[in-house]
Structure 1
Amino acid sequence: MKKEVVLDVVLFSYLSRPIFDVYLNGSDIGVASSYGGGRAVMTAVTIPLGPQTLTWRLDGPAGTAGNGDTVTVKNSLSFTADQIPADSHYLGVHIYPDGTAELVSSVNFPEPTPKGEKIYKEKHLHGR
């Protein structure tokens, strides 16, 4: 039985501010601008199966509260063989404003999640 998988990781941030030093299990998976969806791609990332750790640091204009703070994902993340379709090449890491995240594997380049798409449309496009 496999203990790890190698996938290209695509970072989606639905936060209203930039983030950096995004680490999945200690591996740097990139940076993202505010509402940065699918722009940060790290190739050939080794991902252990089982419980996952995810952290990121907050950025923004000078004086923005929390700049430089490290955030640890609030929900438990796990990645199992059952979550990986045959011929998967990508793992979408989706970070939400409430401090939670989702890991979604896919055969093709990942798309925003329904939750992320809603946040993007409401906050970024419509300013609500």
Structure 2
Amino acid sequence: MTHPQFFATPGGEQMVILPRAEYEQLCEAAEDLADVRVFDEAKRRLAAGEDELIPAAFANRIIDGENPVRVWREYRELSVKDLAAKAGISAAYLSQIEGGNREGSVATMKALAAALDLDLDDLV
């Protein structure tokens, strides 16, 4: 390991010159620290009940384009009739939303999110 060189610019700003390998090690360490902070925040959110883990099979269904309302309803083990009742809509309307035949209004999607104990962002 070589010693870094320090100098001041004409404007008085302090600068350091160091070998590229040391610079890259510092960058890698900074990225690792950022990853640790993200991980710690995710653990905190899980412990506080602000987030939840779902099985990959359900997450993959949403990623693959399946209607998130249907996926979350099935994950929560609710029937169409039960979720519709909890959200204050008809089962037929919910079936149309899940099937992609109708878009739910913002109010309807908020009601569905609340009935599924989710944020609206999880459904849209």
Bucket of the pairwise TM-score, normalised by the shorter protein: under 0.3
Q: TM-score, normalised by structure 2?
A: 0.22
Higher relative contact order (CA 8 A, sep 6+): 1
Larger helix share, 1 or 2: 2
Larger radius of gyration: 2
Q: TM-score, normalised by structure 1?
A: 0.22
Larger strand share, 1 or 2: 1
